Chain A
Amino acid sequence: AQSVAQPEDQVNVAEGNPLTVKCTYSVSGNPYLFWYVQYPNRGLQFLLKYITGDNLVKGSYGFEAEFNKSQTSFHLKKPSALVSDSALYFCAVRDGSGNTPLVFGKGTRLSVIA
């Protein structure tokens, strides 16, 4: 069975500083990995995904994520945080062997302080 761990409930970062939101996963086959963002009282917005190929994936709003197979990690990063990046971030995984549902982590709340 697939699982995702987001070890930090909350990440605080100053505006303009780099940010990292951590994610590790467990899956039996090849992983398909996703990051979503949720603003207050809203649905989930897709940020980026890793399917195969280059380990560094670039996505929306300047976000990127680095896939590390040996560490089973898929950390979300941004070189310079904005106050408007403050939101709830979810990492999710699908088993690449089939059209399985997304399995989400519990989420990490990012707070960017001006």
Chain B
Amino acid sequence: DAGVTQSPTHLIKTRGQHVTLRCSPISGHKSVSWYQQVLGQGPQFIFQYYEKEERGRGNFPDRFSARQFPNYSSELNVNALLLGDSALYLCASSPPGTGGGRNTIYFGEGSWLTVV
């Protein structure tokens, strides 16, 4: 079975531009989360979606937004890009069920965003 897939893998944007990152979860997984990993640091939580509803939001500005589609895929959008938005953006999915926090979260390979 395919793991979490993300696109694009690498992209370069100019300050002030907008970017859309895409994610397909593991088949059967209904929960998708987004994390930002800046070089030299651990991943930081941005958003969580479950069944197309936002279930959590990290400490990120309103320039960051996301959505989940009926097929459980997801998009992360970032407006008015800043140099500091340069990072690896990781999408993760986890299985449904009553496991809740017990469920393992599986990550994709990430999208490398460079803002120049």
Interface of A with B (CB < 8 Å)?
4, 32, 34, 36, 41-46, 49, 51, 90, 92, 94-107
Contact = CB atoms under 8 A, between A and B. Distances in A.
A84 B30 CA distance: 33
Interface string B46-69: 001010000110100000000000
B108 to A, nearest CB: 5
B108 A98 contact: no
Interface of B: 4, 31, 33, 35, 40-45, 48, 50, 55-56, 58, 90, 92, 100-102, 104-110, 112
A97 B102 CA distance: 10
A99 B100 CA distance: 5
B100 A101 contact: no
A46 B103 CA distance: 12
Nearest to B50: A99
A98 B42 CA distance: 22
Contacts of A44: 43, 90, 92, 107
B45 A43 contact: no
B107 A99 contact: no
A106 B56 contact: no
Given A41-B112, A96-B101, A106-B41, 5 more contacts: A42-B109, A46-B106, A49-B104, A102-B43, A107-B41
B45 A103 contact: yes
Most buried by B among A44, A98, A106: A44
Contact of B101 (A4, A99, A105): A99
Contacts of A36: 107
A41 B31 CA distance: 25
Contacts of B108: 43
